[in-house]
Amino acid sequence: MNGVLVLDKPKGITSHKAVSEVNKIIKAKRAGHTGTLDPFATGVLPICFNKATKIIPYMKNDFKKYEALIHLGISTDTLDNTGQVIKELDPGILNKSAVIDVFSKYKGKINQIPPMFSAIKKDGVRLYKLARKGIEVERTPREVTINRIELLEFNPPFIRFMVECSRGTYIRVLASDISNDLGCGGHLTDLRRIESDGFTIEEAVTIEDIKSGHIELKSLNDVLSHMKEVKVSSDLASQIRLGKQIKKSHMNLNDLPDFEAGDHLKFYENLSLVSITQAKVDSSELGDLDDQTIVFKLLRVFN
Protein backbone atom coordinates (compact mmCIF):
# COMPACT_ATOMS: atom_id res chain seq x y z
CA MET A 1 0.00 0.00 0.00
CA ASN A 2 1.74 3.14 -1.27
CA GLY A 3 0.20 6.58 -1.26
CA VAL A 4 -0.97 9.57 0.75
CA LEU A 5 -4.02 9.81 2.98
CA VAL A 6 -5.33 13.27 3.81
CA LEU A 7 -6.39 13.20 7.46
CA ASP A 8 -8.54 15.75 9.24
CA LYS A 9 -6.50 15.66 12.45
CA PRO A 10 -8.68 15.84 15.57
CA LYS A 11 -8.06 18.19 18.48
CA GLY A 12 -6.15 17.00 21.51
CA ILE A 13 -3.52 14.68 20.04
CA THR A 14 -0.09 15.21 18.52
CA SER A 15 0.52 14.73 14.81
CA HIS A 16 2.73 11.73 15.68
CA LYS A 17 -0.13 10.17 17.66
CA ALA A 18 -2.53 10.81 14.77
CA VAL A 19 -0.21 8.94 12.38
CA SER A 20 0.05 6.07 14.88
CA GLU A 21 -3.74 5.84 15.26
CA VAL A 22 -4.27 5.75 11.49
CA ASN A 23 -1.49 3.22 10.93
CA LYS A 24 -3.06 0.84 13.44
CA ILE A 25 -5.78 0.52 10.80
CA ILE A 26 -3.67 0.80 7.62
CA LYS A 27 -0.86 -1.44 8.98
CA ALA A 28 1.81 -0.02 6.63
CA LYS A 29 5.48 -0.81 7.17
CA ARG A 30 6.35 2.89 7.09
CA ALA A 31 4.25 5.96 7.75
CA GLY A 32 4.98 9.64 8.25
CA HIS A 33 3.28 13.04 8.06
CA THR A 34 4.37 16.05 6.04
CA GLY A 35 4.04 18.87 8.56
CA THR A 36 3.32 19.05 12.28
CA LEU A 37 0.10 20.45 13.70
CA ASP A 38 0.03 21.39 17.39
CA PRO A 39 -2.17 19.14 19.57
CA PHE A 40 -4.86 21.82 19.99
CA ALA A 41 -5.02 22.38 16.19
CA THR A 42 -7.14 20.44 13.71
CA GLY A 43 -7.28 19.99 9.96
CA VAL A 44 -5.27 18.84 6.99
CA LEU A 45 -2.49 16.41 7.90
CA PRO A 46 -1.20 14.46 4.87
CA ILE A 47 0.09 11.02 5.93
CA CYS A 48 2.43 9.11 3.62
CA PHE A 49 2.62 5.32 3.57
CA ASN A 50 5.47 3.03 2.48
CA LYS A 51 7.07 4.32 -0.77
CA ALA A 52 5.27 7.63 -0.40
CA THR A 53 7.45 8.42 2.64
CA LYS A 54 10.36 8.78 0.21
CA ILE A 55 8.67 11.60 -1.71
CA ILE A 56 7.86 13.88 1.26
CA PRO A 57 10.70 16.35 0.44
CA TYR A 58 9.48 16.58 -3.17
CA MET A 59 5.77 17.09 -2.63
CA LYS A 60 4.12 20.29 -3.76
CA ASN A 61 5.36 23.00 -1.42
CA ASP A 62 2.62 25.58 -1.79
CA PHE A 63 1.43 28.08 0.76
CA LYS A 64 -0.44 26.59 3.71
CA LYS A 65 -3.85 27.95 4.59
CA TYR A 66 -5.40 28.25 8.06
CA GLU A 67 -8.50 29.53 9.77
CA ALA A 68 -7.59 30.93 13.19
CA LEU A 69 -9.29 32.52 16.18
CA ILE A 70 -7.68 35.14 18.43
CA HIS A 71 -8.92 35.86 21.96
CA LEU A 72 -8.04 39.48 22.65
CA GLY A 73 -7.05 40.77 26.08
CA ILE A 74 -5.59 37.57 27.52
CA SER A 75 -1.91 36.79 26.87
CA THR A 76 -0.40 33.37 27.64
CA ASP A 77 3.18 32.12 27.91
CA THR A 78 2.69 29.67 25.02
CA LEU A 79 0.81 32.25 22.87
CA ASP A 80 -2.09 29.78 22.62
CA ASN A 81 -4.83 28.36 24.83
CA THR A 82 -2.63 25.60 26.28
CA GLY A 83 -0.48 28.00 28.33
CA GLN A 84 -0.60 29.95 31.55
CA VAL A 85 -2.18 33.40 31.56
CA ILE A 86 0.55 36.00 32.06
CA LYS A 87 -1.36 39.23 31.41
CA GLU A 88 -4.92 40.49 31.06
CA LEU A 89 -5.96 43.82 29.55
CA ASP A 90 -9.30 45.29 28.59
CA PRO A 91 -9.44 45.32 24.74
CA GLY A 92 -11.44 48.52 24.92
CA ILE A 93 -13.43 49.64 21.93
CA LEU A 94 -12.12 48.24 18.66
CA ASN A 95 -13.71 48.14 15.24
CA LYS A 96 -13.20 46.14 12.05
CA SER A 97 -11.26 48.88 10.31
CA ALA A 98 -8.65 48.91 13.10
CA VAL A 99 -8.23 45.15 12.77
CA ILE A 100 -7.95 45.32 8.99
CA ASP A 101 -5.37 48.12 9.25
CA VAL A 102 -3.22 45.92 11.51
CA PHE A 103 -3.62 42.96 9.15
CA SER A 104 -2.18 45.06 6.33
CA LYS A 105 1.16 45.21 8.18
CA TYR A 106 1.55 41.47 7.88
CA LYS A 107 1.16 40.97 4.14
CA GLY A 108 4.23 39.92 2.18
CA LYS A 109 7.60 39.00 3.66
CA ILE A 110 7.82 39.49 7.42
CA ASN A 111 10.19 38.51 10.22
CA GLN A 112 8.97 36.33 13.06
CA ILE A 113 10.74 35.56 16.33
CA PRO A 114 10.12 31.85 17.04
CA PRO A 115 8.25 31.27 20.33
CA MET A 116 10.02 29.85 23.37
CA PHE A 117 7.47 27.05 23.42
CA SER A 118 8.70 25.45 20.18
CA ALA A 119 10.80 22.49 19.09
CA ILE A 120 13.65 24.67 17.78
CA LYS A 121 16.98 23.84 19.37
CA LYS A 122 19.34 26.24 21.14
CA ASP A 123 22.75 24.74 21.89
CA GLY A 124 21.24 21.30 21.35
CA VAL A 125 18.29 21.82 23.72
CA ARG A 126 14.66 22.20 22.59
CA LEU A 127 13.36 25.67 23.41
CA TYR A 128 10.21 24.35 25.05
CA LYS A 129 12.34 22.47 27.60
CA LEU A 130 14.03 25.74 28.55
CA ALA A 131 10.69 27.55 28.62
CA ARG A 132 9.27 25.02 31.07
CA LYS A 133 12.14 25.89 33.42
CA GLY A 134 11.36 29.57 33.11
CA ILE A 135 14.43 30.23 30.95
CA GLU A 136 14.14 32.59 27.99
CA VAL A 137 16.91 32.86 25.41
CA GLU A 138 17.49 35.11 22.41
CA ARG A 139 16.05 33.72 19.17
CA THR A 140 17.04 34.66 15.64
CA PRO A 141 14.15 36.15 13.62
CA ARG A 142 13.03 34.10 10.63
CA GLU A 143 11.66 35.44 7.38
CA VAL A 144 8.29 34.04 6.35
CA THR A 145 5.74 35.10 3.74
CA ILE A 146 2.09 35.93 4.32
CA ASN A 147 0.41 35.64 0.96
CA ARG A 148 -3.10 36.52 2.17
CA ILE A 149 -4.68 37.48 5.47
CA GLU A 150 -8.40 38.18 5.64
CA LEU A 151 -10.83 39.02 8.43
CA LEU A 152 -13.63 36.46 8.57
CA GLU A 153 -15.47 37.60 11.69
CA PHE A 154 -15.03 40.26 14.37
CA ASN A 155 -17.01 39.55 17.52
CA PRO A 156 -15.08 41.21 20.38
CA PRO A 157 -13.06 39.90 22.12
CA PHE A 158 -12.65 37.38 19.28
CA ILE A 159 -11.13 37.80 15.82
CA ARG A 160 -11.53 34.99 13.31
CA PHE A 161 -9.30 35.23 10.25
CA MET A 162 -7.90 33.27 7.31
CA VAL A 163 -4.20 33.27 6.54
CA GLU A 164 -2.29 31.80 3.62
CA CYS A 165 1.38 31.57 4.50
CA SER A 166 4.69 29.92 3.76
CA ARG A 167 5.95 26.78 5.48
CA GLY A 168 7.47 27.55 8.87
CA THR A 169 5.09 30.39 9.76
CA TYR A 170 4.03 30.37 13.41
CA ILE A 171 0.34 31.30 13.52
CA ARG A 172 0.63 31.63 17.33
CA VAL A 173 3.24 34.33 16.85
CA LEU A 174 1.18 36.06 14.17
CA ALA A 175 -1.87 36.09 16.48
CA SER A 176 0.20 37.47 19.36
CA ASP A 177 1.79 40.18 17.20
CA ILE A 178 -1.59 41.28 15.85
CA SER A 179 -3.03 41.39 19.38
CA ASN A 180 -0.11 43.45 20.66
CA ASP A 181 -0.48 45.88 17.74
CA LEU A 182 -4.11 46.34 18.77
CA GLY A 183 -2.82 47.37 22.19
CA CYS A 184 -4.35 44.67 24.34
CA GLY A 185 -2.45 41.45 23.78
CA GLY A 186 -4.14 38.15 23.14
CA HIS A 187 -3.61 34.50 22.26
CA LEU A 188 -4.50 31.95 19.61
CA THR A 189 -7.46 29.95 20.87
CA ASP A 190 -8.40 27.89 17.80
CA LEU A 191 -6.50 26.81 14.69
CA ARG A 192 -7.64 24.76 11.73
CA ARG A 193 -5.44 24.01 8.70
CA ILE A 194 -7.62 23.98 5.61
CA GLU A 195 -4.92 23.47 2.95
CA SER A 196 -1.43 21.97 2.92
CA ASP A 197 0.92 20.44 0.32
CA GLY A 198 -1.73 20.87 -2.37
CA PHE A 199 -4.43 19.05 -0.35
CA THR A 200 -7.62 20.69 0.95
CA ILE A 201 -9.89 20.05 3.92
CA GLU A 202 -12.62 18.93 1.50
CA GLU A 203 -10.45 15.90 0.64
CA ALA A 204 -9.71 15.02 4.24
CA VAL A 205 -11.17 12.09 6.17
CA THR A 206 -11.49 11.63 9.92
CA ILE A 207 -10.12 8.77 12.01
CA GLU A 208 -13.74 7.63 12.45
CA ASP A 209 -14.15 7.55 8.64
CA ILE A 210 -11.05 5.37 8.36
CA LYS A 211 -12.27 3.01 11.10
CA SER A 212 -15.49 2.55 9.14
CA GLY A 213 -13.51 1.53 6.05
CA HIS A 214 -13.38 4.84 4.18
CA ILE A 215 -9.72 4.71 3.12
CA GLU A 216 -8.79 6.73 0.05
CA LEU A 217 -5.11 7.00 -0.85
CA LYS A 218 -3.69 9.49 -3.31
CA SER A 219 -1.29 7.75 -5.70
CA LEU A 220 2.35 8.76 -6.00
CA ASN A 221 1.61 10.06 -9.48
CA ASP A 222 -1.24 12.26 -8.18
CA VAL A 223 0.92 13.62 -5.39
CA LEU A 224 3.73 14.43 -7.83
CA SER A 225 1.42 15.93 -10.46
CA HIS A 226 3.33 19.23 -10.26
CA MET A 227 6.45 17.52 -11.73
CA LYS A 228 7.10 16.96 -15.40
CA GLU A 229 7.17 13.29 -16.42
CA VAL A 230 9.75 11.35 -18.43
CA LYS A 231 8.95 7.86 -19.74
CA VAL A 232 11.86 5.43 -19.87
CA SER A 233 12.47 1.97 -21.30
CA SER A 234 12.72 -1.16 -19.18
CA ASP A 235 16.48 -1.28 -19.82
CA LEU A 236 17.03 2.27 -18.60
CA ALA A 237 14.68 1.71 -15.66
CA SER A 238 16.81 -1.27 -14.60
CA GLN A 239 19.98 0.80 -14.80
CA ILE A 240 18.43 3.61 -12.78
CA ARG A 241 17.33 1.13 -10.10
CA LEU A 242 20.96 0.02 -9.89
CA GLY A 243 21.91 3.61 -9.15
CA LYS A 244 23.43 4.56 -12.49
CA GLN A 245 23.26 8.28 -13.26
CA ILE A 246 21.41 9.33 -16.41
CA LYS A 247 23.60 10.48 -19.29
CA LYS A 248 22.58 12.23 -22.47
CA SER A 249 23.20 9.02 -24.44
CA HIS A 250 20.54 7.22 -22.39
CA MET A 251 17.76 9.56 -23.47
CA ASN A 252 15.61 10.02 -26.55
CA LEU A 253 15.83 13.80 -26.69
CA ASN A 254 12.62 14.08 -28.70
CA ASP A 255 10.65 12.55 -25.81
CA LEU A 256 11.88 14.99 -23.18
CA PRO A 257 9.80 17.92 -21.90
CA ASP A 258 11.33 21.37 -21.58
CA PHE A 259 13.13 21.83 -18.25
CA GLU A 260 15.66 24.05 -16.51
CA ALA A 261 18.69 23.17 -14.41
CA GLY A 262 17.50 22.42 -10.87
CA ASP A 263 14.02 21.24 -11.89
CA HIS A 264 12.71 18.01 -10.36
CA LEU A 265 11.34 15.45 -12.83
CA LYS A 266 9.68 12.07 -12.28
CA PHE A 267 10.78 9.06 -14.35
CA TYR A 268 8.28 6.33 -15.16
CA GLU A 269 8.45 2.85 -16.66
CA ASN A 270 4.92 2.17 -17.87
CA LEU A 271 2.85 3.11 -14.78
CA SER A 272 5.60 2.50 -12.22
CA LEU A 273 7.55 5.36 -10.67
CA VAL A 274 11.25 4.64 -11.17
CA SER A 275 12.91 7.74 -9.75
CA ILE A 276 12.77 11.41 -8.89
CA THR A 277 15.62 13.28 -10.51
CA GLN A 278 17.09 16.76 -10.66
CA ALA A 279 18.05 18.30 -13.99
CA LYS A 280 21.71 19.34 -14.08
CA VAL A 281 21.35 21.38 -17.28
CA ASP A 282 18.70 23.25 -19.25
CA SER A 283 16.92 21.26 -21.95
CA SER A 284 17.96 23.96 -24.44
CA GLU A 285 21.62 22.99 -23.86
CA LEU A 286 21.26 19.29 -24.69
CA GLY A 287 22.22 19.63 -28.35
CA ASP A 288 25.63 21.05 -27.42
CA LEU A 289 26.54 18.44 -24.81
CA ASP A 290 28.73 15.36 -25.08
CA ASP A 291 26.83 12.02 -25.01
CA GLN A 292 28.54 11.08 -21.73
CA THR A 293 27.36 14.20 -19.89
CA ILE A 294 25.16 13.42 -16.88
CA VAL A 295 21.88 15.20 -17.55
CA PHE A 296 19.82 14.09 -14.54
CA LYS A 297 20.95 13.45 -10.99
CA LEU A 298 19.13 10.68 -9.11
CA LEU A 299 17.46 11.95 -5.94
CA ARG A 300 15.16 9.01 -5.06
CA VAL A 301 14.99 5.56 -6.64
CA PHE A 302 11.98 3.25 -6.35
CA ASN A 303 12.35 -0.52 -6.72
Catalogue the active-site residues: 38
In angstroms, the CA 249 to CA 46 distance is 39
Q: For residue 142, give every residue at least 6 positions away whose Cβ sits within 8 Å of its Cβ, in sequence order, or none.
A: 111, 112, 113, 114, 168
One-letter amino acid of 230:
V
Q: Taking each helix axis as running N to C, give the angle between helix 171-181 and helix 96-104, from 0 to 180 degrees, rounded to the nearest 10.
A: 120
Report whether 224 contacts 277 (CB < 8 A).
no
